Structure 1
Amino acid sequence: MIFSRGRKQDAIVEFWAWWPSVRPAVTAAIAGGGWGSIPDDVSRRVHAIHKDLTWEFSAGRSARHALVVSAGGDAELRATAARWAALAPAADPEFEYHTSRQPDHSTLTATIEIGGQKLDLAELRFAFERDGDAVDVVCHHPGFRRLPETIRGQVTFLALDWLLGEEGVETWIGAVEFAADEPDGARDPLDLVAAVDALREEHREPKWVIMRATPPDAPVILAAAARPLRSVRWPRFDTYVGVTLPYEDLTDAGLPDEASLAALRDFEDGPLATALRGDGELVAHESSGGKRTLHYYVDGATTAGADLAAAAAAWSEGRSKVERRHDPSFEAVAHLA
């Protein structure tokens, strides 16, 4: 694994060393010149980083053009794409760089041909409903009556990407359905954009929720988790580190009482936070039966996981336990999402 990561990093460095030499030709090609071998050259360089990364040139949001190298929704590849972006040059008036397809509302005024049918995208409508920290959607187009389920789904997800960008879809969209008959409450696509923007604004400042469970014949569980708890928010952090700390001062329910609660908070905010050095994030924690488990995600290409384990060993109220594993999909905290 170390060798693999080293090779990927070498390929990323080589990509950015090569990019200035081809950039003028790319600019000329976008303006109407010949593309020649450029697409094959870009593909070769991107796939040297990872064979399953996708790429495209598109209109920029601030710059004139954008280069996108994307994981394509594959959680396994997000960290690799994020490391590619971390070494990108600063955006300038001509080019910007992204790890996911950006919103492009102008596309929704076009007509596309797919599945042997022409679809005027201006006829798309969405019914949607908020569910916690996500928005569930139903996509409708009159042309869906002539198309099979697979193509309806393809159009739906393409339209969502154009409306919200890939990252916006993965972060804020929950259940997705598509319908040949117009659903109740169907609205203009830009109304969906406004609803997602409002949800994003609510979460501009970090937001955590507290949860409590009382399992039968088991200790009370008190948990807190960041919202929305989705791996796409922390694309570089692909490794789970669970730090379990026993505590001595506890309530009758087995939860930390005042003295231990203060000690836990100081330890989390002090030695453990310092060990991360920006290469990880605490996303949730659970307390039950005299133990608190802190759920961290870190960049597996750094020493953050080992540094956390070393810092945890200094806990004073008992012997700490540390679990580490590759988990780019955040499966370890799925029960708290």
Structure 2
Amino acid sequence: MSIFSRLFKKPEAEAEEQAVELTFKERVESFWAWFSSVSDRFYQTIESEGTRPLIDEISTKVDELFPGMAWVFGPGEKGEGHSLTLSGEGILTKQLLAAYWLSRAPRLNGWTFYAARQPSDDPGGFSIRMGELTFKPIEFWVTPEIDEENEHLDLTVWHPLADKVDDNLRQTALFLVLDEILGEFGTGRWIGSMEFSQKQLGRSMPISELTSFIEETRAERGWKMWTPGETWMSYGIPPEKMSDTGPRLDTIAGSTACWNPLRDFLDGDEEIPFDGFHADWIYLAFDTRALPSEATVDAREAMADVISEDLTKALSGRPLGGAIGRSKSYIDFLIYDGSRSIGIIREAARRAGLPENTRLEYLANSKRNSGMPLFGN
């Protein structure tokens, strides 16, 4: 039974129909209201019987509110109590949503919450079965090469079965092992390219030693552990591909905290970021000539800061970047609360001085025709 039915005692069919319309912010609030009500029972069940009796219950709730997300119970911080992890499984858009979910977590006695899979306490104590083959962490040997510019390691990998399986299978097994050793964010942050070799190289090490090698490397070089959404990538449309008719193809220079969906959008692919979660990537488009010619980037960023501050205060969205184009300029946001988030943006944009003809557009193909004048007709 959904939380709508319990709170408002409406028929199940009507409750489910309403639940579908929940914004992502409402889904997160609904989840934490529910989990707060069951956290003591869950804790005691895990203490006495383990996690198995709870699998169906937690899976049903996650599937209802966050379809496609992964979850796992585990030990709490420093091995004390228990933890619940909601994982985007390495998909950046989902990782950003999981981070918001974590930011709204209540303090519950005995519980720790994570927005990514944590490193295993015993990464050598498991195996991966794929068809008739079994992969064990102890069988992987790696030769790391330090990429100073990108601040990560490129790996050459050897495994005794590497030449007996196709590349997709062995890459999947390797990713699963790395996630156990480094955690979900650690793999994405510290590992660059990965190439299998049919020979075990002389400078190779057991993959279990990779953690200490990374710690030594990052300490020596001062590398920071950035999580998804904290780093920004610069981009621009190559001159030969520039257009004033395609959406945002006039971009001269921009930056983004979420490159992959934006790249697909610019390439015209069928990317639908945040689909199914009732969160949206929206952007404001306005005439570049409205910005002072001597400080176009600074002026756009000042406008974005005003809007971002109001969205953050209301727990209703976050900035994703922006760009300067030769005809239009753009400000990107991830919004969690549908029309209420748009209302916040509209009011803040007026104070920030955005032009009257500014438009609000959606990145998702499914909503590409839902754009509108930001300030009305």
Compute the displacement of 1:26 (Å). Answer: 0.6
Change beyond 3 A, Cα 1:122–1:60: farther
Q: How far apart are residue 2 of structure 1 and its match? A: 6.9
Question: Is 1:248 matched up with 2:285?
Answer: no
CA contact (8 A) 1:112 1:118 kept: yes
Which residue of structure 2 lines up, in the alignment, with residue 280 of structure 1? 317
* AA aligned opposite 1:96: T
Residue 274 of structure 1, CA deviation: 3.1
Question: Offset of 1:248 from its aligned partner?
Answer: 3.4
Query: Displacement, 1:190?
Result: 2.3
1:156 correspondence with 2:186:
no
Aligned residues: 313
The one of 145, 151, 160 equivalent to 1:142 is: 160
Higher strand share: 1
CA distance 1:121–1:258, change in 2 (3 Å):
same
Give 3-state SS (helix, strand or coil) of 2:361's partner: strand
What is the alpha-carbon root mean square deviation over aligned residues? 4.3
Contact kept in structure 2, 1:221 and 1:288, CA below 8 Å: yes
- 1:54 is displaced (CA, Å) by 3.1
Q: Which residue of 2 aligns with 1:296?
A: 333
Cα distance in structure 1, aligned partners of 2:226 and 2:69? 29
SS of the counterpart of 2:127?
strand
Aligned to 1:335: none
Structure 1 residue 160: Cα displacement? 1.3
**Residue number among 187, 193, 198 corresponding to 2:214 in the alignment:** 193
CA contact (8 A) 1:140 1:178 kept: yes
CA distance in 2, matches of 1:19, 1:246: 51
8 Å Cα contact 2:285-2:329 kept in structure 1: yes
SS in 1 for 2:255: strand
TM-score (norm 1): 0.70
CA distance in 2, matches of 1:285, 1:135: 30
How many Å apart are 1:48 and its aligned residue?
3.9
Asked if residue 215 in structure 1 is aligned to residue 245 in structure 2, the reply is no
Which residue pairs with 2:36 in the alignment? 16
User: CA, structure 1 residues 158+184, in 2 after alignment: closer, same or farther (shift >3 Å)?
Assistant: same
Distance (whole Å) between structure 1 residues aligned to residue 234 and residue 167 of structure 2: 39
Q: Which amino acid aligns with 1:160?
A: L
Name the residue aligned to 1:324.
362
Identical pairs, percent: 17
Residue 330 of structure 1 corresponds to none
Structure 1 residues without counterparts, runs of 5 or longer: 251-255, 328-337
Amino acid at match of 1:264: R
Deviation (angstroms), 1:189: 2.0
Q: Is the 8 A contact 1:249 1:259 kept in 2?
A: no
Moved more, 156-165 or 214-223: 214-223
What are the Cα deviations for residues 122-153 of structure 1, in whole angstroms up to 9, with x where unaligned? 34223445373665444322343455545423
Distance 2:323 2:238 in 1: 13
Q: Name 2:342's counterpart in structure 1.
A: 305
Structure 2 CA distance for partners of 1:36 and 1:99, relative to 1, 3 Å: closer
Question: Which residues in structure 2 correspond to 1:1-337 (within 5 Å)?
Answer: 3-6=19-22, 8=27, 10=30, 12-30=32-50, 37-50=53-66, 52-64=68-80, 65-73=82-90, 78=95, 81-82=98-99, 85-86=102-103, 88-90=105-107, 94-104=110-120, 106-108=122-124, 110=125, 112=127, 114-115=129-130, 116=132, 119-129=135-145, 130=147, 132=150, 135-145=153-163, 147=165, 149=167, 151-171=169-189, 173-182=191-200, 186-187=204-205, 188-190=209-211, 193-194=214-215, 201=224, 208=232, 215-216=239-240, 221-226=251-256, 229=259, 238-248=279-289, 257-258=293-294, 263-271=299-307, 273-277=309-313, 278-300=315-337, 303-312=340-349, 315=353, 319-326=357-364
Q: SS of the residue aligned with 2:78?
A: coil
Partner of 2:9: none
Aligned twin of 1:332: none
What is the Cα deviation at residue 155 of structure 1? Answer: 2.1
Q: Which runs of 5+ in 2 are unaligned?
A: 1-16, 244-249, 262-273, 366-377
